[in-house]
Amino acid sequence: MKAPRGTQDLLPGITEKWQYVEETLKDLSRRFHYQEIRTPIFEHTELFQRGVGDTTDIVQKEMYTFFDKGERSITLRPEGTASVVRSFVEHKMHGLPNQPTKLFYTGPMFRYERPQQGRMRQFVQFGIEALGSSDPAIDAEVISLAMNCYKELGLQSLKLVLNSLGDQESRESHRQALIDHFAPVKPELCHDCQTRLEQNPLRVLDCKKDRDHPKMADAPAILDYLNDDSRLYFDKVKQYLDAMGIPYEVDPNLVRGLDYYNHTAFEIMSDAEGFGAITTLSGGGRYNGLVEELGGPETPGIGFALSIERLLMALDAENVTLPLEEGLDAYVVSLGEQADLQAAQIVNDLRIAGIQVDRDYQDRKIKGQFKAADRLKARFVLVLGEEELANHQISVKNMETGDQETVAIDQLTEHMKAIV
């Protein structure tokens, strides 16, 4: 038996990297005053049809959807925002006194797509959602948090790409311009884009198959169709980023793959050599209107999401070594049946006291136990033989310096707490 295609086992030696990255992202989020939210791994299918959009590839092609025993249509979550907004509405978080509501999440997502490097059918996403503010300053804050998710871990080859999708009025004007532009060559477009041109023409600009079509080069840019309010909003976002010293590039062709985006849209890319053809690390934007779509009151929102898998790929591409804690605090070597019983108590007491310690469970000789301690990179080896046991003492050896001392067993815990 093997793991299903598009999934992976994360084994010891690798999981430590994941744990370090996840804890770093959580700590950074708390510093920005975002609180953790945890939502179900599966939701009613309608949530993603309404929240993500019927015209998206995610809903049309990529969702893991099934009927449960109650004949209800259930979908494994393909992304995190819709679930967070559903929870925000269901629990009336819009009524909390402190607004905006600032949340972060992390967990597995599921999309049925062709597996490739950095793109799995089950992948882990970390995301941020800020709900309840239409201030351009919160857009800049979210972008800053996204950038610092990578900088905090030591990445430097980063590029922030920015665009505005405008408000509803601006989008409608741009939508019609796109239809007029592509309609004469509609038969030349792929089947998906022919459908998109009728349902959501903005998605045509994001097509991988038709990216080299001549009409793509001079397609109408959304920035040319922004009304005064949308243009002013975008200018303020850029002013805040300038004030925060965050460099960016404006790309009028940047289109996010989800229907709920409006106004600010952004992506963070890796410029690292050898990272791969797909350079996007994360993306996000503003989604005013999504809360109302899911049954809540009028509430603006903005967020972003990143893939932990792609973040780790970027760390490898830039040869960033994470400062992982390796090895044990101590390893207990015991000789004889009575010493073995005493060792079990010592190990348990030390663990309860907060010391990382292990012992032999393979009935090895003393030489084998010392080799095991060395393989596990134990800082101290605690030796308990017949002589030590008779004197109610234990030998404590510093494996780095070679120094050795004898400590009373009833004082061992405090002694170890002082030196590890």
Question: Which residues make up each annotated binding site for L-histidine?
Answer: 79-81, 111, 125, 129, 256, 260-261
**Cα dihedral sign, 193-194-197-198:** negative
229: CB partners within 8 A, 6+ apart: 167
Instruction: Provide the phi-psi class of 141: left if phi over 0, else alpha when psi is between -120 and 50, else beta.
Output: alpha
Q: In what order do the strands lie in the sheet with 42-44?
A: 42-44, 73-76, 64-67
Tokens read off for 387: 């002589």
Query: Distance (Å, rounded) from C-alpha 73 to C-alpha 84?
Result: 19
Query: Distance (Å, rounded) from C-alpha 399 to C-alpha 218?
Result: 68
Tokens read off for 87: 């929870």
Find out whether 238 and 244 touch, Cβ atoms under 8 Å: no
Query: Distance (Å, rounded) from C-alpha 192 to C-alpha 11?
Result: 39
Query: Distance (Å, rounded) from C-alpha 389 to C-alpha 279?
Result: 61
DSSP conformation class of 376 = T
DSSP conformation class of 406 = E
Helix (H) or strand (E) holding 370: helix 366-375
Tokens read off for 284: 């996000």
Find out whether 382 and 389 touch, Cβ atoms under 8 Å: no
Indicate the annotated binding residues.
79-81, 111, 125, 129, 256, 260-261
Position 205, amino acid: L
**Residues composing the chain:** 420
Closest CA to 162 of 186, 184, 144, 188: 144
3-class secondary-structure state, position 266 = strand
Find out whether 265 and 95 touch, Cβ atoms under 8 Å: no
Exposure string over 168-181, b if 16+ CB within 10 A, otherwise e: eebbebbbebbeeb
Burial class, 195, CB count within 10 angstroms (exposed 0-12 / middle 13-18 / buried 19+) = middle
